[in-house]
Structure 1
Amino acid sequence: MGKSLEEVNASVDTTQQTGFWRKLLSFMGPAYLVSVGYMDPGNWATDLAGGSQFGYKLLWVLLMSNLMALLLQSLSARLGVVRGKDLAQASRETYPRAINVPLYILAEIAIAACDLAEVLGMAIGLQLLFDIPLIWGVSITVLDTFLLLFLINQGMRKMEAFILVLVSIIGGAFVLEMFFAKPGLNEVASGLVPSIPNNEALYIAIGIIGATVMPHNLYLHSSLVQTRKFERSVAGIRRAIKFNFIDSAVALNLAFFVNAAILILAAATFYKNGMHHVAEIKDAHKFLAPLLGSKWAPILFAVALIAAGQSSTLTGTLAGQIVMEGYLNFRIQPWLRRMITRLLAVGPALFVIIYFGEEYTGKLLVFSQVVLSMQLGFAIIPLIHFVSSKTRMGDFVIGKWLKVSAWLVASTIVILNIKLVYEELSGWLASSSYPTVIWLTAVPVAVACLFLLLYITFQPLVVKALQHHPVGSHFQPVEYQPLAKPIYTRVAIALDFSEVDKHVINNALAIGNQAAEYVIIHIVETAGALVMGPDIKDYETSSDQLNLDRYAKDLRGKGYKVTVKLGYGNPKKCIPKIVKEFNAELLVMGSHGHQLMKDLILGTTIDSVRHSVKIPVLIV
């Protein structure tokens, strides 16, 4: 498995800096790239909707979301610093492919939903400043692909500086907006008392949580902290964790200020004047000048909106690259990855504008943030499991109170989402003229997602429970007559590049001898390999071939006769075919450590292969 964001991994050297402040400054940067996702146009939509409809009453949701974000982002940074893996890579290492593929799809949906908000925000900002039609503004946003490519080639520090400038523009604009609005401090303080007035407030509150605690930011942060080169000693890792936490606290509190400013601005202007349905960014822009008595208020609003959309776009692209490489071990050119992400967002935006009209863009923005919230559990729960594992984290495993807090956050988010999904599905079934369609589409998807959530929640607990099988006191040794050792001269070895491989090879060599011939087999199971077969030319295929060649070179150096064979597609069919072509007398393969639910999903490969070959099969 390659390094996360390999082109910038360990590219910022912190080991040369001395003194607390200089060392801190060398670590600061990743959290600012993450923080822009917490102030993107999707946040604006939910904050405007919350402030105009409920005044200051949902301000506590923003504060709670910010505390949740700080906790989760610090765990994400800890994972990247300690293990040198991002969240997607850690998931790929832990879960079977049948689980990782749905998790990857959900992560891509989250990134597309986030990018959708940025596309609409940028387009609306351009329309407000230059009167460009929204449909043309959406089309123009495709061109910012080249900005990311330019920045990433300039190095990590320059990209971070560019993002910091954009964040400063957003923050500065809202400092002036607050000066114009003059909110009442007592009313602002009252908004910090928790309350949910009705179901509509719950919907917006969940949107605020989704917009603030963004799932793709967890993948992003666990990768970005690896751009720092630091001492890999116990003291060095502890120092890196501390400085990254400070970085997160400063950056996320700035993001909280921006979000709170938007909600307070909406409450102090629209809600206060009885305008309770200003959820559209364009309406907010239009009403700011007459309500605040300044022509600069709407201009600052539009400039900040464009800055927020552009900065969030860059980080969304990086997150897309991270999840694709991490979950699938599949790498494509950055410009192509950027175009795919952007087109997935532009498509729905253009459809809504053309089919429903520009007035529905505000609803689409809020909906995109609710979709983000729905994906949170699938990123948060694996993250908590990974940083709670003593085996994986060693001395840097999180403590009991931090673990309790993390699970409390995860439970709150998951329960709110389940409640919302249930209520939405019930509403659709009650109001739809075709309830059967919903039963056959939306309901099965919701049930499948629930089962996936249950799997990633309880899988580590089940695996841990099955690891120890003490022998009962009634055990009595069985007497047996040892048989003569069979001699095999042609042995096939099936590998999957996991920890089991070394045991598989050792057992195969123990059964054979120096005169035996061996073939080492690995099957590339990607979708591309299934379709294109030997013609596939991707990163995973070349990496797998390289691994096979390394095994063969090592064994040949020890005097063994070894050939390698790479198969493509379904291992149930490919392994027996290669075994028969080699005319093997014995097949040795690993059980891959499957337990319980993993066996239900992947365990059938061994049975299928065993029944398809007419030779002994040793399962290690």
Structure 2
Amino acid sequence: MPKSAALDAPPTAPRRAADSRRLTWLMGPAIVAGVAYLDPGNVASNMTAGARYGYLLVWVVVVGNVMAWLIQYLSAKLGVVTGESLPEVLGRRIRTRWGRRAYWVQAELVAMATDIAEVIGGAVALHLLFGIPLVWGGAITGVVSLALLLLQARRGPRIFEFVIAGLVVIIAVGFVFGVFVAPPDPAGIVGGLLPRFEGTDSVLLAASILGATIMPHAIYAHSALSRDRFAPATEGAAETLEARRGISIPRLLRATRWDVTIAMAVAGTVNLCILLLAAAALSGAPGTDSLEGAYAALRDGIGPVVATLFAVGLLASGLASTAVGAYAGAEIMHGLLRVRIPLLLRRLVTLIPALVVLALGVDPTLALILSQVVLSFGIPFALVPLVALTARRDVLGAYRNRPWTTVAGVASSVFLIALNALLLWLVLTGS
């Protein structure tokens, strides 16, 4: 058969199976980055929204997940095509040393705020499950996250992805099981898809849900995770990747789209189930605006099994998300300051503030809310450069965004930045 005919022939069953296995092998980074969408801040926001307003804010979770898909795909595409993370690209393009340092300061504050929320979540879960004091629970959470980072550094990204994926399964079971015990109202779910608010507090909660959903460190991390898995950070990274593994960049981007779709489907389903569980079982119950109160309400209203699984899911959420957050923090420092520091020291940089907050006896739920406020400041610094860079020919070449993708990215960025600005205004003014 002539070579051209062979190329035009439809793929055989073994070839299709091989392609399927290869695409499966290419997946993973989005699952790790997607842990940011299942962190304790999301749990607190969705649980409070469901308990206070029932199904009213279902549409917010859905809209946030759709925007998250686009944003995470753009981040992954940047890492795949350039062989660099977003912090590395910014560190190369910001010409002045002081400009890079200033950008790093805000990104580092975001990383610290992220860690505060995630360590607190793990500490609260350990306290609920075993009665461990919050400070010691925070320290245990930090140590476990350090072990996960050491695993990633010594065994490579693939093993790290498997471990995080396992924790995601635990998170999903922990937070979804209760929906089967206390099924939500289908009519209420359908009604919740209609965008609307009921007063200022519902607007604040909607902004909190979106602020806890789309987080700056997930954007920084996903580009780095894709780089680590696929593209050597050298000139001609795309050509090198194709030569080494026989994988074309278009095929790799197709696998990335599937990876992001699966990760966001899991994260969106879990977040929606948290809200639906609260709407069905905790509506009007007192004290559900805190993780401890939600646990107690679940235990008293549905039973200890659901409450215990909720706490186990919260623990897995804290452990997985703080490890990914610390990974993002290390990448931010390396990309913008062009320095690497020992892993233990890097872990302590963001862990110590979280432990200080716990040691001072700050209310964990208040600390979670304040951490989301800090995260709101970091959203524009991650979103705007991401959309701008992925639209540039001199950055992504033929793989730059199509016009409609850029329009969707700009629209999502404007919407998220406006809502986060509203969140800041409402919190700071006490409205």
Q: What TM-score does the superposition give when structure 2 sets the normalisation length?
A: 0.89
1:88 Cα deviation after fit: 0.5
Would you say the 8 A contact 1:325–1:331 is kept in 2?
yes
* 1:282 partner letter: E
Identify which of 332, 337, 345 aligns with 1:323. Answer: 332
**Mapping of 1:217-616 within 5 angstroms?**
217-229=218-230, 232-233=238-239, 236-271=248-283, 274-275=284-285, 277-292=287-302, 294-351=303-360, 353=361, 356=362, 360-426=363-429
Would you say the 8 A contact 2:83–2:227 is kept in 1?
yes
Instruction: Say which SS state the counterpart of residue 142 (structure 1) adopts.
Output: helix
Instruction: Say which SS state the counterpart of residue 305 (structure 1) adopts.
Output: helix
Per-residue CA deviations over 1:60-94 (Å, capped at 9, x if unaligned) read: 11111111111001101111111111101111122
1:166 Cα deviation after fit: 0.8
Would you say the 8 A contact 1:149–1:335 is kept in 2?
no
1:258 Cα deviation after fit: 1.0
Distance in 2 separating the partners of 1:198 and 1:277: 20
Change (3 A) 1:33 1:395: same
Per-residue CA deviations over 1:504-558 (Å, capped at 9, x if unaligned) read: xxxxxxxxxxxxxxxxxxxxxxxxxxxxxxxxxxxxxxxxxxxxxxxxxxxxxxx
* 2:159 partner letter: K
Would you say the 8 A contact 2:113–2:372 is kept in 1?
yes
Would you say the 8 A contact 2:285–2:297 is kept in 1?
no
The corresponding residue for 1:586 is: none
Higher strand share: 1
The corresponding residue for 1:204 is: 205
Distance in 1 separating the partners of 2:209 and 2:428: 21
1:43 Cα deviation after fit: 0.8
1:143 Cα deviation after fit: 2.3
- Higher RCO by CA contacts (8 Å cutoff, separation 6 or greater): 2
The corresponding residue for 1:171 is: 172
Would you say the 8 A contact 2:138–2:354 is kept in 1?
no
The corresponding residue for 1:452 is: none
Distance in 1 separating the partners of 2:213 and 2:424: 19
The corresponding residue for 1:80 is: 79
1:425 Cα deviation after fit: 4.6
Q: How many residues align?
A: 404
RMSD of the TM alignment (CA)? 2.1
Distance in 1 separating the partners of 2:58 and 2:394: 40
Distance in 2 separating the partners of 1:299 and 1:65: 28
Distance in 2 separating the partners of 1:196 and 1:157: 43
Per-residue CA deviations over 1:550-591 (Å, capped at 9, x if unaligned) read: xxxxxxxxxxxxxxxxxxxxxxxxxxxxxxxxxxxxxxxxxx
Would you say the 8 A contact 1:209–1:373 is kept in 2?
no
Change (3 A) 1:149 1:381: closer
* 1:264 partner letter: L
Change (3 A) 1:53 1:276: farther
1:424 Cα deviation after fit: 4.5
The corresponding residue for 1:467 is: none
Would you say the 8 A contact 2:128–2:311 is kept in 1?
yes
The corresponding residue for 1:50 is: 49
- Give percent identity, aligned residues only: 35
Distance in 1 separating the partners of 2:43 and 2:430: 27
Per-residue CA deviations over 1:282-305 (Å, capped at 9, x if unaligned) read: 11111113312x321111111111
Greater Rg over alpha carbons, structure: 1
* 1:131 partner letter: G
The corresponding residue for 2:13 is: none
Distance in 2 separating the partners of 1:149 and 1:416: 33
Change (3 A) 1:213 1:149: closer
Per-residue CA deviations over 1:171-219 (Å, capped at 9, x if unaligned) read: 1223321111111111112111111222222222122112111111111
Change (3 A) 1:280 1:78: same
1:342 Cα deviation after fit: 1.0
The corresponding residue for 2:7 is: none
* 1:33 partner letter: V
* 1:40 partner letter: D
Distance in 2 separating the partners of 1:409 and 1:377: 11
Would you say the 8 A contact 1:208–1:369 is kept in 2?
no
Q: What TM-score does the superposition give when structure 1 sets the normalisation length?
A: 0.62
Distance in 1 separating the partners of 2:358 and 2:67: 30
Distance in 2 separating the partners of 1:106 and 1:264: 35
* 1:195 partner letter: R
Q: Please, which moves more after superposition, 410-419 or 131-140?
A: 131-140
- Give ranges in structure 1 of 5+ residues lacking alignment: 1-16, 429-620
Distance in 1 separating the partners of 2:128 and 2:188: 30
